[in-house]
Structure 1
Amino acid sequence: MAAHFGWNLRQLDVKNAFLHGVLQEEVYMSQPPGFIDPQYSDYVCKLHKSLYGLKQAPRAWNDKFTSFLPSLGFTSTYADSSLFVKQIDSFVVVLLLYVDDIIITGNAPTLISDVISALTKEFDIKDLGPLHFFLGIQIISQTDGLVLSQAKYVKDLLTKTAMLDSKPCSTPCLPYNRLVLDDGKPYNNPALYRSVVGALQYLTFTRPDIAFAVHQVCQFMQRPMESHFSVVKRILRYLKGTLNLGIHYVRGGLEVNSDTIRAFSDADWAGDPNDRRSTTRFVVFLGSNPISWSSKKQQTVSRSSTEAEYRALATTAAELDWIKQLLTFLHLAIPSSPVLFCDNMSAIALTSNPVFHQRTKHIEVDIHFVRERVAKKHLQVQFVSSSSPRVYLLHSFKLIVAISVLVSPPELEGGC
């Protein structure tokens, strides 16, 4: 929204955030060394406020902050408990909280300054100015929008794994290559494997092109093999060659398409050789900007490609429902029902007509809720060819990224 409307993004930091929390439970602490009362050395301290190290500290801080925001006119939503919105007439201020880091934006600079002043009086807050770096994500402001990149994060990861001088490769994984559970010898450093794969998971926030490859290696955290770590190293080599890629959010991107929310859904039937389960993949666009994507294995085995695609449609429809709730809370009007694209005609038929009953009566009831959404005209399901140019290697490498998503920021060197 900030990219589309050209809003300024401000970043705030709360100093010693956990010390602001007020405890609701009775918590006692031994007298700290150097401050023991000689007359009552066997006494303990009763805490009224939280301290760092307490299990209650994060919750106490969150309760303290979120209970103060309504006094400033902010409201919250069940769709995202960290998001708060203040609206006065046509003016909107949006505040996002992540532990002690705050992002604030909106179309009313005066209101934003008033909110920052009120927060500063109540808490020890430092105004970091315009948003440039947040949770490892670099935000670059341009005249035509925003670019999100994790180039520094990738470089630190390559340095940690001694892959900074490795030879780059052109793809994050080999086509049609699926990992097998017991393939070769066990890897001698499982802790390193879990650490690197966990770091790669966080990287998918701005790099959807590695989502499927990371999804594969995540399945072997418990007992990784040498062949699995070889795939991890291939992902790192791919990142070495695409170090500066990121996502470009275009200003005015909501007007690019008549259908404001569009989603692309796909599934590979029985693609996992270990348990024959299918993998659901989807990407959701708000106008021309991608806002949500996923590559995740389905919980049960599908008996046909139609069932696998139908389950993927249901998963994507649930994501679209959540996004609609979030956008409604942000006072962003959606002119039309979201459009969900699928390349399986049989699965599309199931969303509007209970055909093939004998073949689908074993499917769980909750999966059929996508049919209810279509019947109420809350969702449109349309066919898209698997060779559509809008989908980038969706079937070849199982990536879930559109051609226009990944860019190289002009301020950074390299990239493609």
Structure 2
Amino acid sequence: MGSVDKTLFLLSRGGNTLIVQIYVDDIIFGGSSHALVSSFAEQMTRKFEMSLMGELQFFLGLQIKQGLEDTFVHQAKYTRDILKKFNMGDSKPMTTPMSTNTALDADEDGEAVHQKEFRGTIGSLLYLTATRPDIRFAVRLYARYQASPRTSHRQAVKRIFGYPKFTPRAWSLVFLGGFSDADHAGRRIDHKSTSGTCQLLGTSLVSWSSRKQASVSLSTTEAEYIAAASCCSQLLWMKATLSDFGLRFGKIPLLVDSTSAISVAKNPVLHSKTKHIDVRFHFLRDHYEKGDIDLVHLADIFTKPLEFGAFVRLRGELGVIQVEGVDHALIKGEIESQWTGLIALLV
């Protein structure tokens, strides 16, 4: 049993490994030995009533396309289903999920729309973010208006359905790292900031988040520091989980879009200026001093709407590409080149 994830099980035998992941009454398993996998399948079908579905192609609404070197995880069918469900199939094509001029607020004087339908739309899009990190910020932003949705909110959500359908691409390199960013006081109603984080394994994006912070930050530095602390906690969890697979990591790079926030974590002299920050965020400084993470300056895509050029560039760096009609080998080489340059800077 995994030390962190109790639904993960691993078996090593004769230099081969079997990996089993359980979700309620569904099981995904695989290994480095066909004989080991077949033996496990035979034992399970003998002890339990179960159906073997063959090679993994569809799981919990996720579609998996496996090649000799690459694996795609996407929700093309699910996307088509929700477009049909909410009558959005004829949505006007959009180059980004939200406009850079978007400045939504409660719009109390606007015309109210059906709350149940709006919540259903948001809920469906939230599940779509499981494979679509490029719409994460927009969906989380619009989800804040579910209590009293207006026409302006529905129009903003409709734009997401017009955004071109891409799917994330998973690679197979092993290098752990993370990004964090924050939009200081970006919330127009209560002036709370938005934290955006993402974690990568090699050039594969494996987890991401875009959410409103729990408290009001007094400065951009504080907002960025809180976002970095959130990213750090996720990286440490991933580091512990990967140890079950026999993978060991030294200092993990955490790329932060604020030199001031990095200074707060690195320089004890600044402690007197940050005493008001909740103690739960100061573990970032603790793990930096222990050498678990390394803080580097960089930005990401999860905290603000971007113009088309910047959005496409950052989307590509996350590994979000089309399944068909693209030179995947070329894109893979470009992403690996970017990460090689970054690793060189860190070393």
Which TM-score bucket, shorter chain as reference? 0.7 to 0.9
CA deviations 1:291-333 (Å, max 9, x no partner) are 1111011000000000000001100000001101110112223
Q: Could you tell me which residue of structure 2 aligns to residue 312 of structure 1?
A: 227
Aligned residue pair count: 321
Q: Could you tell me which residue of structure 2 aligns to residue 248 of structure 1?
A: 169
SS at match of 1:355: helix
SS at match of 2:130: coil
Distance 1:402-1:263 versus aligned 2 partners, 3 A rule: farther
The aligned runs of 1:44-83 (5 Å cut-off) are 75-77=1-3, 79-83=4-8
Which has the greater radius of gyration? 1
Cα distance in 1 for partners of 2:319, 2:245 equals: 24
Shift of 1:359: 2.4
User: Which residue identity is paired with 1:144?
Assistant: E
CA deviations 1:321-379 (Å, max 9, x no partner) are 11011101122233x32100112111101112223334211011111001110111111
CA contact (8 A) 1:186 1:223 kept: no
SS at match of 1:323: helix
Shift of 1:81: 2.9
Cα distance in 1 for partners of 2:253, 2:104 equals: 33
Q: Could you tell me which residue of structure 1 aligns to residue 341 of structure 2?
A: none
Q: Could you tell me which residue of structure 1 aligns to residue 204 of structure 2?
A: 289
- TM-score, normalisation: structure 1: 0.73
SS at match of 1:410: coil
CA contact (8 A) 2:8 2:21 kept: yes
SS at match of 1:330: coil
Q: Could you tell me which residue of structure 1 aligns to residue 96 of structure 2?
A: 171
Shift of 1:102: 1.4
Shift of 1:91: 1.9
Superposed CA RMSD in Å reads 2.0
User: Which residue identity is paired with 1:154?
Assistant: T
Distance 1:279-1:176 versus aligned 2 partners, 3 A rule: farther
Cα distance in 2 for partners of 1:265, 1:146 equals: 26
Q: Could you tell me which residue of structure 1 aligns to residue 237 of structure 2?
A: 322
Cα distance in 2 for partners of 1:222, 1:298 equals: 19
Q: Could you tell me which residue of structure 2 aligns to residue 383 of structure 1?
A: 297
CA contact (8 A) 2:264 2:271 kept: no
SS at match of 1:294: strand
Cα distance in 1 for partners of 2:14, 2:190 equals: 55
Q: Could you tell me which residue of structure 2 aligns to residue 159 of structure 1?
A: 84
Structure 2 unaligned spans of 5+? 327-347
User: Which residue identity is paired with 1:327?
Assistant: L
- TM-score, normalisation: structure 2: 0.87
Alignment equivalent of 2:176, drawn from 236, 261, 272: 261
Cα distance in 2 for partners of 1:203, 1:92 equals: 32
Alignment equivalent of 2:322, drawn from 380, 400, 408: 408
CA contact (8 A) 1:267 1:279 kept: yes
SS at match of 1:81: coil
SS at match of 1:315: helix
Distance 1:220-1:102 versus aligned 2 partners, 3 A rule: same
Cα distance in 1 for partners of 2:2, 2:49 equals: 22
CA deviations 1:13-43 (Å, max 9, x no partner) are xxxxxxxxxxxxxxxxxxxxxxxxxxxxxxx
CA contact (8 A) 1:263 1:283 kept: yes
CA deviations 1:24-82 (Å, max 9, x no partner) are xxxxxxxxxxxxxxxxxxxxxxxxxxxxxxxxxxxxxxxxxxxxxxxxxxx233x2232
The aligned runs of 1:228-247 (5 Å cut-off) are 228-238=153-163, 242-243=164-165, 245-247=166-168
CA contact (8 A) 2:197 2:302 kept: no
Shift of 1:411: 7.8
Cα distance in 2 for partners of 1:332, 1:187 equals: 52
SS at match of 2:155: helix
| More off after superposition, 367-376 vs 93-102 | 93-102
CA contact (8 A) 1:392 1:403 kept: no
Q: Say which structure is richer in strand.
A: 1
Cα distance in 2 for partners of 1:112, 1:382 equals: 42
| More off after superposition, 229-238 vs 186-195 | 186-195
Distance 1:404-1:356 versus aligned 2 partners, 3 A rule: closer
Shift of 1:176: 4.7
Alignment equivalent of 1:273, drawn from 188, 198, 219: 188
CA contact (8 A) 1:349 1:355 kept: no
The aligned runs of 1:42-191 (5 Å cut-off) are 75-77=1-3, 79-191=4-116
Distance 1:281-1:392 versus aligned 2 partners, 3 A rule: closer
Shift of 1:109: 1.8
SS at match of 1:307: helix
Q: Say which structure is richer in helix.
A: 2
Cα distance in 2 for partners of 1:171, 1:109 equals: 44
1:340 pairs with 2:291: no
User: Which residue identity is paired with 1:377?
Assistant: G
Alignment equivalent of 2:275, drawn from 351, 356, 361: 361
